Structure 1
Amino acid sequence: DRLPRINDATRPDTPDKICTTVPPALAFFYGGLVDRKNVLNQLFLSFICMGIVFLQWVLFGFSFAFGPPISAGFGSFKWAVLRFGEIDNDVYSPTYPLLTFAAYHGTFAIITPALISGAIVGRMKLIPYMIFIFIWTTVCYDPMANWVWGSSGWLKHLGTLDFAGGTVVHILSGVSGLVASLILGKRSDYDPHSTIDHNLPFTILGTLLLWVGWSGFNGGSANGAE
């Protein structure tokens, strides 16, 4: 009786580990395309998401996104600090622990603001960015994840299908990056004639790592490792 259980638990756990390559991949991908003076800023903007967003996700982000709903648009604090033990969930994780599901979707939450960093590199310092991504994840990402993926999400009940984050991750981060760049305005020291790629091998390495990470997104979204 235990063997199928262990096998089921490892299937979504494998993509979870694969997806953790995406923030470093974005750091290399974006870092290779920016000016030399901005490369460290870009690396930190990508990597810091793994700390700030992970903390937010554990404290209350997962509960906001997938917890027992208080309305058709928001979760609750019932699962804050991951207070659901090792239980399974008939909706989200019928054959493996809910904690595995939370860890897997935590990688989505981390990657989404990391995508925004490419639009604001050189425009925002690290500390304001840390505050921004904590608030943005709470106000923007968690509700959107609930609407599209949550059991009571209103977009889900309208028939919205989002496989591996097309809406929750990519559309949301793209629109947010555009709005953030418009609000922040042009870089104060921007010179289009002096802008050159810092390190194209960095970008190629980041692309290869992204390919690996995408396989984790697709496999995990199907509740499988393959």
Structure 2
Amino acid sequence: MVEMGPFREYCEFGGDRVYLLLAIARSKENEEVAGDAAPTLRRVVEEAADLGPEAAALEHAAGRFDERYRLYLTANARDALKATFELRRSMDDWLEGRIHGDEGVRGKFRRVDEEFLSTLQSDTCRDETNFVFDLDDATVADRDTLADDLRGHTEVALTRETPNGYHVVTDPFDYSELSTAVDYELKTDGLLFVSYLDG
């Protein structure tokens, strides 16, 4: 069973805010998977109590495949209502294309559920802009140094160990003012590593 405790405190639900859990079979652990075609399973999480059951559902689903999956959570909540309107606009475009003979859109109508999840995950449907500082090949001391440097500018909301280092999540701020000796990659709509799924 995947431990979701830290994320229950991190996630802020309410109104139309939801999060996505994603199980991704990355090429780093699966040599037969091409980097741009990583198999991905997604579930919408509507409230904190659903984090554990949805993670378990993804673990069960991933267990049917040979690949090794990583479980991630969107760092930013998503706006489900906005995603619905975005999908409706896209569907109007598909309909127009279909009327004009575009056979390529036919498949989209067969997988509207997956199209909705893709729309929900898009940048336009995020409901906040938390920053994820991704530290690869970093030590605990690197993580702590960066967190201390960040606290001079913003609140550190969460730190997570990843297979290659750490994720440090903060509220948004003017990061051009950040001065630190720690190497990082900044993601403004990133995914947070939760665990491996070995089911």
TM-score range, shorter chain: under 0.3
- TM, length-normalised to structure 1: 0.24
Larger RCO (CA under 8 A, 6+ residues apart): 1
> If each structure's helix is expressed as a fraction of its own residues, which one has the higher value?
1
